[in-house]
Amino acid sequence: MTAISRQHYREVLEQFRGFLRSLMMHAGVGTALGGVMTMVGEPQNLIIAKAAGWHFGEFFLRMAPVTLPVMVCGLLTCLLVEKYRLFGYGEPLPPTVRKVLQEFDDRSRAQRSRQERLRLIAQALIGVWLIVALAFHLAEVGLIGLSVIILATTFTGVTDEHAIGKAFTEALPFTALLTVFFSIVAVIIDQQLFTPVIEFVLQASPHAQLSLFYLFNGLLSSISDNVFVGTVYINEAKAALEHGAISLPQFEMLAVAINTGTNLPSVATPNGQAAFLFLLTSALAPLIRLSYGRMVWMALPYTIVLTLVGLLCVEFTLMPVTDWLLAHGWLVTPTLP
């Protein structure tokens, strides 16, 4: 192989790595954009919805004054960074790589047996079941996940427990980090380290409380896991409601501010978003040269746009749109669960 050929293949490899980095980062940000909108999108959403007494549809409508504008701005950001090749985005798929992938796909399709096609159909139907079950909250999330595992292994013919275990291997480093986060949050709760922040925020005017909760949640969620930050803050807000420090309508507004504050600014670092953290600890990250610093840099445009648009919506559109939805009967004020 000549020096020119080696240089060409090296350039193709780097371009392909750049394409995969962009793809994975867009996918990670997409989990934040979509995850904040529904009750089952993120783990803390379920906790917040339960504390506020919201079902799936009401949760979506409560978040919509903030999440829908943020979704639009997030998609526009994706378009701009790809079009103008900003922050490491915009690398196209190399034609030679696409040709190899196309040939592999054609060969796989031609060699696929009837049994393999039935397995793919079964997996697609199980995917539909997962979406429907989560959307209509047909059971607890854990039971839905367990049903997916049972159905997938049954209809794909996987009966060896060692084969099932391989599916969880990738998640082991991620699980170890979650254990560390649990320990940290346990100390925070035990030592009541968030109490001064909560007391400071509750001393502000009701309207200012929304922005302050959003900002404090966003700051902490960008350096720590957003699930635990959201859990601590919603519990503190509910305690304030039960002690008469805030009204029920104000608690509902704070729940929206807490949910959006924990989800949107958390894309700043892999610490905050579980999807980013899982990607960082996966075997794929070193192959595509996706380091911690590069993830922070590539997430920066999304961090700025999502955080600022979310803050503006919490400040200016949340209360008016919610009042409009209440006035037209789309929303009702629930009793405290």
Task: Write the DSSP string, 54-66.
Answer: --HHHHHHHHHHH
Interaxial angle between packed helices 226-242 and 43-52, expressed in degrees from 0 to 180 and rounded to the nearest 10: 10
- Angle, CA of 238, 38 and 62, to the nearest 5°: 55
Cβ burial, residue 269 (10 Å; 0-12/13-18/19+): buried
Task: List average pLDDT for each run of 10 residues in the chain, which is 337 residues long.
Answer: 74 92 93 88 85 88 95 96 93 92 92 89 92 81 87 84 76 75 75 80 85 88 79 86 87 93 88 82 88 93 95 94 90 66
pLDDT of residue 3: 63
Nearest to 126 by CA among 98, 106, 103, 153: 153
What DSSP character marks residue 169?
Answer: G
Domain boundary assignment for the chain? 12-110+171-327
Residue 208 contacts residue 255 (beta carbons within 8 Å): no
Q: pTM for this structure?
A: 0.87
Count of all residues that appear for the chain in the document: 337
- The half-sphere exposure of 240 on its side-chain side, counting CA atoms within 13 A, is 26
The span from the CA of 46 to the CA of 34, in Å, is 14
Residue 54 contacts residue 259 (beta carbons within 8 Å): no
pLDDT of residue 101: 92
Q: Which amino acid is at 332?
A: V
What DSSP character marks residue 209?
Answer: H
Q: Which amino acid is at 79?
A: L
Q: What are the structure tokens assigned to 161, written together?
A: 């427990």
Interaxial angle between packed helices 195-202 and 206-221, expressed in degrees from 0 to 180 and rounded to the nearest 10: 150
Number of H helices, E strands in the chain: 16, 0
Residue 303 contacts residue 238 (beta carbons within 8 Å): no
